[in-house]
Structure 1
């Protein structure tokens, strides 16, 4: 008769091996967006497209590295969004647009699909990486959302990196505000700009903080589209997370806050259904509770992540008059990236390292 202790030890070893295999085989996945709007080939130059693709790929690889070494989906989302916050190409962090008063007011949020905990900040002006402070709100406080000076005081207490508001300045965004002030209107993420005259003066050059290369700042614009950024991720433990960061709208007034920091609107994550990060006309995304609506369609009607996301973006939002898109990811690694605008900066990376960056509708 075999030794019972040896049998038990063998079973334990087998179970441990199976758990390890399950974790290794889990379809870790990461999806990003850099804003939706009038992103068309006619407005795109090779230089501009190369600049966007480079940062989007850098963001994907950063998050993927976190997931591959066993990091959590939350770790991956935070690291990925920070890359895009640090790039002047997007309307988040360094490239944030200006308010009517000439300020950069930043919003961000993050959500954990395992626990349904969430953190968000809005209307901050000195926090270098809003996504990281949003996560601290979730992890280190009993609250979900903090705004303005209170959020900044919390960030300081948590040791977050604070900067002079001048850090967020870019000439292109400033000129965008001047144009909006002259026209007395709010510039949305998805408004097409008129063609620039052939004899118009060139914008001054700016140095990329990442590469040190001298780039003409006109490559940072796409019509009047300025891109909110977001990320959703699935880790080897089967947990989902989502995060979104933005500077809002050019020429916004009265402390306006959009959907990006609103849990259930621009950001949502639930292991039972999906993780969502949205971009577009925030007022519509708030009214439609877009992130939660996708999740609810999956939970209550049994729709796939692709069908649920398309139902909300391509039907419900269109009927309301809302423009934009979202990225969605379920626990099995299935991806959806629908948008009803001309284009959306987006990309994904799979467990085997296969990745793709997409820009246009086709």
Structure 2
């Protein structure tokens, strides 16, 4: 498309444009279809894997395909191959249900050279074909549409389990890419601190400095459940690629917590705020927390919020509802709630020591 913007006369000689290599994002083709329509040149999306050398399915693209941001249409198998969507037990999936894509047929390789164990793992007996025939387990997810054509749904190994929820990273990436200022996006579930796994989004802007992260986050919170909204966003100039020109997820950097904060650092001003900041730093595993910093922007989540409430209850000898963390997600706001609870509880506590000057220093009236 960018080449066409510079010199469009070559398009007149094109009959077909074939996509392959990476999952197609059809909504990005809107400007093309607005300029040329969907008849000539004809755009074709093809799904393929090395083990079939190389294409498996094809789909003729139409203008209406650009209306979706959540799927990549890959169509039907080419003539010398078969494609089946199955569950883990090789049972066929019905229309609308996601399954692993298995490929069989004359175009399928026999296996991996000198790697019998991997061949046995990936090239499995074909329960739908002739005796002795094989299916290749692609590791890719897809689902059937009502017309029998398939939509690519991402990789099985890109499905993660986070705090009890199964999450498709591709769904989050699709929502991020729907923002007009995002050129590329990738999402990882990182565990940079043992036992603390969190979602991190990596973004490349279309125009440097044009993307407002707060607006993007607000849009994601409307489109996704809370547990699918990344806790950190990392801006990159370019995505790291491997030797094959595909995204190298291992080279995506760990986020810097300080870069995620929308507020400049404000030091604690009262004894309550100081104690809270210390507890937050310990629970979140970071060095410095300001009183205006948002717990969830710092990487907090529901399980850490439970730990936070428990630590606060022990330190201040109060009962703090978990919802308080969501209602007052920064130190300053939460300190106000705690001060009210402390002031309410202490006078009625017959075992409590009389209030002194230190107590009053920690209470904001």
TM bracket (short chain): under 0.3
**TM-score with structure 2 setting the length:** 0.25
**TM-score with structure 1 setting the length:** 0.25
Larger Rg: 2
Higher relative contact order (CA closer than 8 Å, sequence separation 6+)? 1
